Amino acid sequence: MADWRKISGGVTAARGYRAAGITAGLKPSGLPDLALIFSDVEAIAAGVFTTSQVRAACVDYCRQRLQAKHSARAILCNAGQANAATGTQGWFDTLQSAMAVAQALNIASDSVLLASTGVIGQRIPMDKLNAGIPKVVAALSDTGSDNAARAIITTDLVPKSIALETTIGDRPVRIGGIAKGSGMIHPNMATMLAFVTCDAAVSPTLWQQMLTRAADRSFNSITVDGDTSTNDTLIALANGQSRTPAITEFGTEAEKLEAMLTAVCQHLAKAIARDGEGATCLIEVQVTGAHDELSARQIAKTIAGSSLVKSAIFGRDPNWGRIAAAAGRAGIPFEPDDLQIKLGDFLLFENGQPLTFDRAAASAYLKKAAISAYLQEDTVLITVSVGNGHGTGTAWGCDLSYDYVKINAEYTT
């Protein structure tokens, strides 16, 4: 049983944080497009970013800032323009954005972190951004998380938010998060942004290690379409305002905090996969029996990312052969005779042999998951065993529908 409980508040659930989201005119749609998260005190900061060689200016900026200084107070995010592949001027726009936020908040510019999302190759309209920064600062509130969550989305159908609470040293500790992401989603991050706030006191090295592992078990284990983007950013702040003793080394309290951090990241990651462009259901792939966790996750991610598996799920076709094929090409050795495949409660393949199963009932299971997906009540569960090893891993994805092509064919038109 989880040693935490779900609470309201998103990124403002943790003590000492305020947030805001406004319409600054950056999106042609006129929807909210500028978000700010602010800690009342300097907070330990950690980040995980895209592995792409083509990166947005804000990604390089945050990497440099976090290498030089492991703390921050503010995160500004604009939606509408990725500010990626925008050359030298895009870099200057990033620096100017940080300075404008710092001036409006009366803090040092190196305490500001930045994120952007939108169309690659488009600069941020700096006149609109500069006009919007004082407004988003004025709108900061300890109940502003929902507004911030709405202001960071692009093709998402719904905002994504979560907050959890546990007890450390007889005092409550909270972690909250918001995220955006719907398309260009693939392991090793994706077109996704996620911002996490925590009120525990943690050493910079430990906090970064926790976040990296949490990312591997969440955002790096989801896939929608096999594309990784230029702007992927996961930033986590820990400001110590819970007044609990500082966690500086691994132990029971560190494990407890990391487990809750991972749970927050996994909730947001699954919300991204469920909201995949054109998706009708969430797919969860659980792999057991591998040599180690990394191997199990690799098999799970390969299955979840297979276009053939995803298309079969959309067609409500319990085609286990596509699952077996994806597992076999994952690059992880296993004995085919050890392979077992289940779809929900339906055992389809075992000991290297196909089994007789109720195909109509299995197809109905897939249809039920699709109908209930938007209620977040049902998930298509694929369970695969590849041997007797101790390695287990999970990945999440979504089905591949006609609407995915339509959405992306018309993205800039």
Question: Is residue 226 packed enough to be buried (19+ CB in 10 Å), middle (13-18) or exposed (0-12)?
Answer: middle
pLDDT of residue 50: 86
Structure tokens at 199: 């009120």
Tell whether 197 and 55 lie within a shared domain: yes
Tell whether 241 and 268 lie within a shared domain.
yes
Q: What pLDDT, in 10s, does the model give residues 346-394?
A: 999 999 899 999 999 999 999 887 655 444 556 899 999 999 999 999 9
CB 27 within 8 A of CB 77: no
- Where is the domain boundary, 248, 274, 300? 274
Same domain? For 221 and 309 the reply is no
Q: Are 34 and 21 in contact (CB under 8 A)?
A: yes
pLDDT tens, residue order, the chain (413 aa): 678 999 999 999 999 999 999 999 999 899 999 999 999 999 999 999 988 888 899 999 999 999 999 999 999 999 999 999 999 999 999 999 999 999 999 999 999 999 999 888 999 999 999 999 999 999 999 999 999 999 999 878 889 999 999 999 889 999 999 999 865 444 555 558 999 999 999 999 999 999 999 999 999 888 765 556 678 899 999 999 999 999 999 999 999 999 999 999 999 998 888 876 667 888 999 999 999 999 999 999 999 989 899 999 999 999 999 999 999 999 999 999 999 999 999 999 999 899 999 999 999 999 887 655 444 556 899 999 999 999 999 999 888 877 777 766 765 55
- 45 pairs with which residues across the strands? 237
- Catalytically annotated residue among 50, 117, 191, 383: 191
Residue in 190, 235, 245, 238 with CA at minimum distance from that of residue 214: 235
Residue 244: active-site member: no
Instruction: Give the pTM.
Output: 0.88
Rounded to the nearest integer, the mean pLDDT of the chain is 91
Residue carrying the six token digits 């109509």:
360
Co-location of 248 and 133 in the same domain: yes
Shared domain check, 236 and 167? yes
Please give the backbone phi and psi of residue 120, each rounded to the nearest 5 degrees, phi first.
Answer: -65, 140
CATH number for 11:
3.60.70.12
CATH number at residue 329: 3.10.20.340
Instruction: Look at residues 274, 292, 309 and tell me which one is the last residue of a structural domain.
Output: 274
164 and 131 in a common domain: yes
- The closest alpha carbon to 79, from 134, 161, 148, 12, belongs to 148
In degrees rounded to 5, what are phi and psi of residue 398? -150, 170
> Domain containing 364: what range?
282-409
> Are both 36 and 179 inside the same structural domain?
yes
Note whether 120 and 177 are same-domain residues. yes
Single out the residue in 239, 274, 309 at which a domain terminates: 274
